[in-house]
Structure 1
Amino acid sequence: MGLCDRCARLLNDFRSLAKAKAAIFVQKLKDVVNKISECCCSEKALASQEKPYELLRRHGVESKRISYLTTAQSRVPTAFLETCCTLLQSEDMEVQRTVSLSMLRLLTDSKIKEEHVIEMGILEPLVDLLQSGDHIVQCNSSACIALLASSDSNRDAIVCSDAVLPLLVLARTFDPKVQQNAVRALHNLTKSERTMCVLCEEGVIPVLALLLQSADSNIQFYSCSAVSNIAAAPKYHAKLLQLGDRFLLKSLVSLMGSSVLKNSTQACQCLRSLTGNGEAQQQLVGLDWVYPLLTLLRAPELSSSEAAVMLLSELSAHPLNRESLVNLGVMPVLGELLLMYLPNSKVVSHCVITLTHLCDIVASQETILETECLIGLLLALGFDWNEDDTLLSVLACVHSLASFDSLRSRLVEKMTASHVGRLVSICSESENPDLSFAAGSVISKLDMNDKLLKPHHRAIVGYLMRFLRNQEVRFQQLAIASVCNLKKGGGLDGMTCLLELERELNRVQQQTEHTRQLLQMLQQDTCTKDKS
């Protein structure tokens, strides 16, 4: 063979050792087979089934063949799934380990179709193996079920196979790999309304709540994602919130401060789903959620900042949260977000909604509104948004600021003629009546000097006449109030097109007077009929 003396000697020693071990194994196997054959209980079985030795030999060969197939490049023939189903029911632990691992590899590499696994009846033995006494077998089988549960079409079959209780048991085991696979399977099962309902009836909520405090970050993520799926359905909020001493909310707030960004983001999303419930808002009062939320707002990932600002806008709607948010420094962060993510409608919308909620606290404390907030807000006002809802939120925020004297003066200081032109343009050209009305409401609130208004005199008169001709009373009333405010502030001085506006105001007055007279006549007729 061309080997040196040393290597040849080592090889001979290995051969001798292998022969000795093989002989011992074969002898033990024969002893077992002989003892089984000699027993009276095996006579009937031997008449209709394979001999035990042949059965054991065939199981060993087939399990090796299936293990070999996991390394093949092509899909595994469906016929081999029948063999897998048989071998998974073997009482030999090594066969269970080998075949369950092979099934896991085949599913992971998509070498077998998931629907074939269900159709061939392999799910039932996999569920049985969840209750195996061997952690490796439990790990492999739970991982297989987690993969199968990723498909919506398989989830009903998994629940109907009584897999839920064994998975709940494994989710509380001390083996981290088994626990992780079990929780991943439960998470996938919460993605369908039907299977989620079964899980909640079987008691999944307390288990998931406890797992939020796991030391394993993956278990935290899967359990929090599962809770988020459940929290998305308001009918489960009562069950989620009834855990003693605000346990769930405390766990989620703690997880929101996690150094693992995906976990803190997921906890934030879960809290947002729950804060639509008034009871959850009450339970959150007094919990230390502000600092972790502020940290997440400044996260490097956009998805994390989005999740945080969406939660912030919900929490700032609760009056009891507003003062602590302002005192702990949320305003500078809002300014940073507005400047950083201006084209992002989701971030901008929730930033300005939060700012709107906090205006009264800022005004009452006579706090100086951060320059970044004002600049970001005015930049958002001038941006050409595709979504009307975003612009409506911006206009509502500007209107709220203009409603407070101290904030209005700061706002006007930062405004330019182009900002006024943007408001006038919305009033004049927008086909959305709500946008036109919102922009007009802002102009009516602002004490603007003639320097800001002069470039837009004709356009201002144009939109005011448009409002006066509108059939909706709210537009007519807004136009009249705007004329009064502009006249009071000297904004109408020097306008060369006031005659048309005056005529339109007279027409509205006559129409109003006519309406008043009609109403008076109707009231008189009603009184006459009552007397008769």
Structure 2
Amino acid sequence: MGLCERCARLLNDFKSFVVVKTATFVQKVKDVLRRISECCCSKTAPLSQEKLYCELMRRHEPKRGPRLSRLNSAKKCVPTAFLEVCCSLLQSEDLEVQRSVSLSVLGLLTDGNIKEEHIIGTGVLDTLVDLLQSGDCTVQCNASSCIALLASSDSYRDAIVSSDAVLPLLVLARAFDPEVQQNAVRALYNLTKSESTMRVLCEEGVIPVLALLLLSSDSEVQFYSCSALSNIATDPQYHTKMLLIGDSFLLKSLVSLMGSSVLKNSTQACQCLRRLTWNGEAQQQLVGLDWVCPLMTLLRAPELSSTDVALMLLSQLSAQPQYKETLVNLGVIPMVGELILMHVSNSVVVTHCAVTLTHLWNIVDSQQVVVDSECLSGLLLALLFDWNEDETLLRVLSCLNSLASFDSLRSRLVEKMAASHIGRLMDISSERESSDLSFVAGSVISKLDMNDELLKPHHRVIVGYLMRFLRNQEVRFQQLGIASVCNLKKCGGLQGSVYTLELEKELKRVQQQTDNTRQLLQMLQQDT
């Protein structure tokens, strides 16, 4: 159906109006750029007006209008006056002008052509926050992208929160436009990187919004919302708010996301769970949820960083009695053994594997599983590795010490040990700089049923560290020294050694010291 003459005239008038406005805007840009190019500050690398204008419009997408790019490759930032013009144009009633200039500002921010203090001093930040509430998706998209970019810098986060941007961002985080939603959630995530701004977000109700977004069909929205929740979970004061969302909603959503095919999302969900399960209430809420299967899938991830995160959660939860049987029944122990062998030079993997095994030794049914797995071989290989961190070696030794407490495991361990392993334990036991390493290594040796032939090359070293243990002022070392001598005599170790006389003398000294202490205690009891 054709338009009447009156409507056709109105439409033509409107078309002419748009053409004039656009031409005026373009001419204004050209005029500003011409004046900048004529200034002495731009003479170091002059560009013609045409080239300068073309460069500014180069990145321009047809659907979004012109975009201002770098003014000059030699210029580090645009002048304040130019930003003031941009700020005025952002407040224009012309929607196309808002779209174009907001995209231009985004380009300048992306390229790093705006000084931090200028974006606030010229009022651009406040104007961008106002544009978050625009009725136009393109303007919202550009403005929210600018805010997200600014929020990635420590310098801007407090200013963004002070500009009342939080509530508009929370609204846009549930927008229908996927790009607007992504930008808003990315901005919220960046704001959780600072303690002060994170506190404001939590006060404004960001936690339930982010929890709901974990169910989004958009993987980017899932990632940023989960990453933001993970940042919040680093502070235990917010755990109660996070866990009070009805019917364990947050934990169920995180467990579901941990099974995502998008690796970065499953990894981030695992990280968030790890931080949340520092809380006892979270550990209880996790009972009955199927978190072990997705966790085991993540342990096999192609990216080692994802495996590390999964192992951290596993070692943490394996300490809880309510999870141990499930972990063993679903085959965690053999997988841990494989991981040690596969990544024996990686301190994070070895440390958390050793911690997990230490937690699971006391499950009676698991002992045969350990014997049949690669755990013992992996631990002995890790024992020989030259670690830079004492913590990793201490975890390996503690695991072996715990293992040696069980008869079935101890005999299998001795079968697998070679002279190199004994020598390594002797060296660590004789270590004077780290008393903890020395103590645990000595404790392992004291529990092993080793024949005289295996110990014979190390008689002098053994007597040396046992003498040091017996002379140590710490009771735990004295007791370990005595227990070690008893065990070595029982299994035939040190038999016929010329050094045992020294050891016998030191044992008598300790006995006399103990008798004196006992007498003093008896006298004290009589006086009281």
Indicate the TM-score class for this superposition, using the shorter chain for normalisation.
0.7 to 0.9
**Inter-partner Cα distance in structure 2 for 1:333 and 1:73:** 57
Matches within 5 A, 1:84-99: 84-99=86-101
Q: 2:367, 2:408 within 8 Å by CA — same for their partners in 1?
A: no
Cα deviation 1:133-169 (Å, max 9, x = unaligned): 1111110100011011111111111111111111100
Deviation at 1:109, TM superposition (A): 1.5
Q: 1:411 aligns with which of 391, 410, 413?
A: 413
Residue number in structure 1 paired with 2:467: 465
SS at match of 1:429: coil
Q: 1:62 aligns with which of 25, 28, 32?
A: 28
Residue 201 to residue 330, structure 1, CA distance change in 2 (3 Å)? same
SS at match of 2:371: coil
- What amino acid is aligned across from residue 439 of structure 1 in structure 2? A
Deviation at 1:515, TM superposition (A): 2.0
Residue number in structure 1 paired with 2:218: 216
Q: 1:198 aligns with which of 197, 200, 211?
A: 200
- What amino acid is aligned across from residue 444 of structure 2 in structure 1? V
Residue number in structure 2 paired with 1:78: 80
**Inter-partner Cα distance in structure 1 for 2:169 and 2:380:** 54
Deviation at 1:77, TM superposition (A): 2.5
Q: 1:267 aligns with which of 258, 262, 269?
A: 269
Q: 2:370, 2:376 within 8 Å by CA — same for their partners in 1?
A: no
**Inter-partner Cα distance in structure 1 for 2:231 and 2:17:** 56
Residue number in structure 1 paired with 2:184: 182
Deviation at 1:371, TM superposition (A): 4.0
SS at match of 1:361: coil
Cα deviation 1:338-388 (Å, max 9, x = unaligned): 112112111111100000001011556643524411111011111221211
**Inter-partner Cα distance in structure 1 for 2:385 and 2:502:** 32
- What amino acid is aligned across from residue 419 of structure 1 in structure 2? H
- What amino acid is aligned across from residue 373 of structure 1 in structure 2? C
Residue number in structure 2 paired with 1:240: 242
Deviation at 1:496, TM superposition (A): 2.3
Q: 2:294 aligns with which of 292, 295, 309?
A: 292
Matches within 5 A, 1:34-53: none
Q: 1:107, 1:113 within 8 Å by CA — same for their partners in 2?
A: no
Deviation at 1:423, TM superposition (A): 1.2
**Inter-partner Cα distance in structure 2 for 1:278 and 1:302:** 28
1:137 aligns with 2:139: yes
**Inter-partner Cα distance in structure 1 for 2:367 and 2:354:** 19
Q: 1:345 aligns with which of 344, 347, 350?
A: 347
The worse-fitting range, judged by mean Cα deviation, of 98-107 and 382-391 is: 382-391
Runs of 4+ deviating beyond 6 Å? 23-26, 29-32
**Inter-partner Cα distance in structure 1 for 2:525 and 2:248:** 59
Q: 2:512 aligns with which of 499, 510, 513?
A: 510
Deviation at 1:61, TM superposition (A): 3.5
Q: Which 5+ residue runs of structure 1 have no aligned equivalent?
A: 1-22, 33-52, 528-532
- What amino acid is aligned across from residue 414 of structure 1 in structure 2? K
Q: 1:107, 1:147 within 8 Å by CA — same for their partners in 2?
A: yes
- What amino acid is aligned across from residue 70 of structure 1 in structure 2? S
Q: 2:214, 2:225 within 8 Å by CA — same for their partners in 1?
A: yes
Q: 1:395, 1:439 within 8 Å by CA — same for their partners in 2?
A: yes
1:281 aligns with 2:247: no
User: How many residue pairs were aligned?
Assistant: 484
**Inter-partner Cα distance in structure 2 for 1:113 and 1:222:** 27
Q: 2:70, 2:111 within 8 Å by CA — same for their partners in 1?
A: no
Residue number in structure 1 paired with 2:49: none
Cα deviation 1:7-35 (Å, max 9, x = unaligned): xxxxxxxxxxxxxxxx9988448889xxx
Residue number in structure 1 paired with 2:37: none
**Inter-partner Cα distance in structure 1 for 2:205 and 2:287:** 27
Deviation at 1:512, TM superposition (A): 1.5
**Inter-partner Cα distance in structure 2 for 1:406 and 1:424:** 23
Q: 1:130, 1:138 within 8 Å by CA — same for their partners in 2?
A: yes
Residue 416 to residue 56, structure 1, CA distance change in 2 (3 Å)? closer
- What amino acid is aligned across from residue 142 of structure 1 in structure 2? S
The worse-fitting range, judged by mean Cα deviation, of 361-370 and 449-458 is: 361-370
**Inter-partner Cα distance in structure 1 for 2:119 and 2:468:** 68
- What amino acid is aligned across from residue 202 of structure 1 in structure 2? E
Q: 2:487 aligns with which of 481, 485, 488?
A: 485
Deviation at 1:486, TM superposition (A): 1.1
Residue 283 to residue 316, structure 1, CA distance change in 2 (3 Å)? same
Matches within 5 A, 1:79-158: 79-158=81-160
Larger radius of gyration: 1
**Inter-partner Cα distance in structure 2 for 1:71 and 1:490:** 82
TM norm structure 2: 0.87
Q: 1:332, 1:373 within 8 Å by CA — same for their partners in 2?
A: yes
Residue number in structure 1 paired with 2:371: 369
Residue 30 to residue 304, structure 1, CA distance change in 2 (3 Å)? closer
Residue number in structure 2 paired with 1:41: none
Deviation at 1:71, TM superposition (A): 5.3
Deviation at 1:481, TM superposition (A): 0.9
Q: 1:312, 1:354 within 8 Å by CA — same for their partners in 2?
A: yes
The worse-fitting range, judged by mean Cα deviation, of 187-196 and 426-435 is: 426-435
**Inter-partner Cα distance in structure 1 for 2:78 and 2:395:** 56
Cα deviation 1:399-423 (Å, max 9, x = unaligned): 1111111111111111112211111
Residue 103 to residue 490, structure 1, CA distance change in 2 (3 Å)? same
Deviation at 1:261, TM superposition (A): 1.0
SS at match of 1:158: helix
Q: 1:62, 1:83 within 8 Å by CA — same for their partners in 2?
A: no
Residue number in structure 2 paired with 1:435: 437
Cα deviation 1:197-216 (Å, max 9, x = unaligned): 11111110011011111111
Residue number in structure 2 paired with 1:498: 500
Q: 2:315 aligns with which of 304, 313, 316?
A: 313
**Inter-partner Cα distance in structure 1 for 2:400 and 2:256:** 35
Deviation at 1:186, TM superposition (A): 0.5
Residue number in structure 1 paired with 2:325: 323
**Inter-partner Cα distance in structure 1 for 2:185 and 2:473:** 60
Deviation at 1:433, TM superposition (A): 1.1
Deviation at 1:463, TM superposition (A): 0.9
SS at match of 1:444: helix
Identity of aligned residues (%): 73
- What amino acid is aligned across from residue 113 of structure 2 in structure 1? K
Deviation at 1:517, TM superposition (A): 2.3
Residue number in structure 1 paired with 2:454: 452
Deviation at 1:56, TM superposition (A): 8.6
SS at match of 1:226: helix
- What amino acid is aligned across from residue 28 of structure 2 in structure 1? E
Q: 2:137, 2:180 within 8 Å by CA — same for their partners in 1?
A: yes
TM norm structure 1: 0.87
